[in-house]
Structure 1
């Protein structure tokens, strides 16, 4: 074994970047690269949840409104038929009455 060249440490060796003083007041550590503060993480989670809720809510509201419109339209059909029948009968009756009135004169 020869010790001619200095030995290189592995590429990814953790290193101490903070000096620790005895009896010092602990401070919140700086956020390491790649990690978020708890507030930023909370904001990001809230933002993502709201996006998912928006998409889901929009789809569900569209389906609910479509179902209600269909239901209301189907319940209107009998009433519309009655109203149309009444208007047609009244129009025919008025037209026949007008025709008979002009023929009698």
Structure 2
């Protein structure tokens, strides 16, 4: 008597989908493939597609965020440079007035 092996947690959902498609006159599953082999092959295909799509989605999101961040960074850099120049000029004027010619 064969004991049923418990598949990993993610397999039942995929198996249900495969069975549902089979019941709905979907593509026939080759008889030489076991359910486990079929699930493994499908998961490999899903992983490849998912990895590519995730990479594309992340790249798009990073590009959008970078484009939105550019103007904000420019404003902040301009403000910091302006403040730094003003501070340096004020310090120079103070130093120059303290060592100016004596009458």
Q: TM-score, normalized by length of structure 2?
A: 0.63
Are residues 1:61 and 2:49 paired? no
Kindly indicate whether residue 82 of structure 2 is the aligned counterpart of residue 82 of structure 1. no
Q: What is the RMSD of the two structures over their aligned residues, measured on CA atoms?
A: 1.2
Q: Which structure has the bigger radius of gyration?
A: 1
Relative to its length, the structure with more helix (as a share) is 2
Q: Report which structure shows greater RCO (CA 8 Å, sep ≥6).
A: 2
Moved over 2 A (4+): none
1:68-98 CA distances to partner (integer Å, 9 max, x unpaired)? 0000000000100000000000000000000
Q: TM-score, normalised by structure 1?
A: 0.62
Unaligned runs of 5+ in 1: 1-34
User: How many residue pairs get matched?
Assistant: 68
Q: Structure 2, unaligned stretches of length 5 or more? A: 1-30, 99-103
